[in-house]
């Protein structure tokens, strides 16, 4: 247990928006724990003297938006609040208390008896580990926030991005009397990127904060070069897909060849499971356009086709006249075939 930190801010005579901060030491915890503190908002006229915010900064990163605040009314003496922070070693975090004054509202904003306790919070829910999410460009990305504790319809639960942007959670369901979960779809997956999110819940007893998890948006692969022509005949084209150099992300789990005549409006797609591929049953002396499609794991993982190979099959040679056939029938079950010029 660590105790003894306090802050008292006299908001009298202050301009609106003036701030005072108290920074806790950077913490690296390796087990479930709870931070609790006492706070007080007091004034003679009964109006709130300002706002008390709490921020959780992880690994020296952005301060972001508050995970807890109090501002609406003055308190009757000291009130206890809890912070259930699910950020563990080797990650570190820092709790920042911020008092913000309001002009024309004299009074005091105070915090006292800040403690780090080696047991779970009694009122603030603790989140289970938030998992990374990987999707392909343009697909829906969904995080699932699961917490231990009792859910109340008055609780506010949201997703907070590393840069401080907050996203409201859409669906909350109770798993059992001591656990609940919530899901949210992240809107912007329009381009290849990596961003970080965490779950935050505000309850009557304080706030719970999960670890940060990555949203990884991958770009489906596209070949840089067209297929390589290895051999050509009157009714076939033998190609090499050239799928080693790509734009986008791997791993590649599927290769396909799409081909059509340059004058037609139809197209066929064949799966390629070898380093080379032979297109059969083509028409002689016809120009074909051949492209390669590549796919990576996940929905929407097939990229746009690569640059085309445009080539023509050979002309058909002369048809050789078959020799004359002679049949010899010896019995109902015995016969003979003889070739002659």
The band of 340, judged by pLDDT with boundaries at 50, 70 and 90, is: low
The reply to whether domains 126-218 and 222-313 share a CATH topology is yes
SS3 252: coil
Closest among 207, 145, 203, 135 to 170, alpha carbons compared: 145
Q: What is the pLDDT of residues 236-252, one digit of tens each?
A: 999 999 888 999 999 99
Quick one: how far is CA 214 from the chain centroid?
6
pTM metric for this prediction: 0.81
Pairing status of strand 193-203 against strand 206-209 = antiparallel
Task: Report yes or no: 149 and 208 within 8 Å, Cβ to Cβ.
Answer: yes
Question: What CATH architecture is 222-313?
Answer: Sandwich (2.60)
| Tokens read off for 206 | 């304080």
CATH level 3 topology of 7-117: Jelly Rolls (2.60.120)
Could you tell me the residue ranges of all domains in the chain? 7-117, 126-218, 222-313
pLDDT digits (tens, 9 = 90+) for 70-109: 987 788 889 999 999 999 888 999 999 999 988 777 889 9
Percent of the chain at pLDDT above 70?
91
CA dist 283 and 76 (Å) reads 90
CATH number of 126-218: 2.60.40.10
């Amino acid at each position: 247990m660590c105790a003894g930190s306090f802050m008292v801010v006299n908001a009298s005579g202050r301009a609106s928006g003036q701030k005072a901060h108290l920074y806790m030491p950077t913490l690296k915890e390796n087990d479930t724990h709870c931070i609790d503190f006492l706070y007080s908002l007091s004034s003679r006229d009964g109006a709130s003297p300002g706002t008390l915010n709490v921020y959780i900064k992880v690994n020296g990163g952005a301060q972001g938006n508050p995970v807890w605040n109090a501002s609406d009314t003055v308190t009757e003496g000291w009130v206890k609040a809890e912070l259930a922070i699910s950020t563990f070693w080797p990650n570190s975090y820092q709790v920042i208390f911020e008092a913000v004054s309001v002009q024309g509202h004299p009074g005091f904003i105070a915090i006292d008896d800040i403690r780090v306790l080696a047991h779970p919070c009694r009122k603030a829910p603790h989140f289970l580990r938030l998992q990374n999410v990987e999707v392909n460009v343009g697909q829906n990305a969904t995080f699932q926030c699961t917490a231990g504790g009792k859910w109340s319809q008055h609780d506010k639960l949201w997703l907070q991005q590393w840069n401080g942007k907050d996203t409201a959670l859409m669906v909350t369901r109770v798993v059992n009397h001591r656990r609940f979960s919530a899901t949210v779809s992240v809107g912007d997956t329009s381009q290849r990127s990596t961003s970080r999110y965490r779950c935050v819940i505000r309850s009557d007893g304080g706030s719970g904060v999960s670890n940060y998890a990555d949203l990884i948006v991958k770009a489906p692969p596209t070949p840089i070069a067209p297929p390589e022509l290895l051999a050509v005949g009157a009714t076939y084209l033998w190609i090499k897909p050239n799928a080693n150099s790509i734009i986008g992300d791997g791993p590649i789990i599927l290769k396909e060849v799409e081909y059509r005549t340059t004058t037609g409006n139809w197209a066929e797609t064949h799966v390629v499971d070898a380093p080379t591929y032979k297109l059969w049953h083509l028409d002689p002396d016809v120009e074909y356009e051949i492209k390669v499609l590549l796919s990576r794991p996940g929905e929407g993982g097939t990229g746009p086709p690569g640059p085309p190979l445009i080539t023509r099959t050979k002309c058909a040679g002369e048809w050789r006249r078959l020799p004359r056939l002679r049949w010899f029938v010896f019995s109902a079950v015995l016969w003979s075939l003889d070739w002659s010029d």
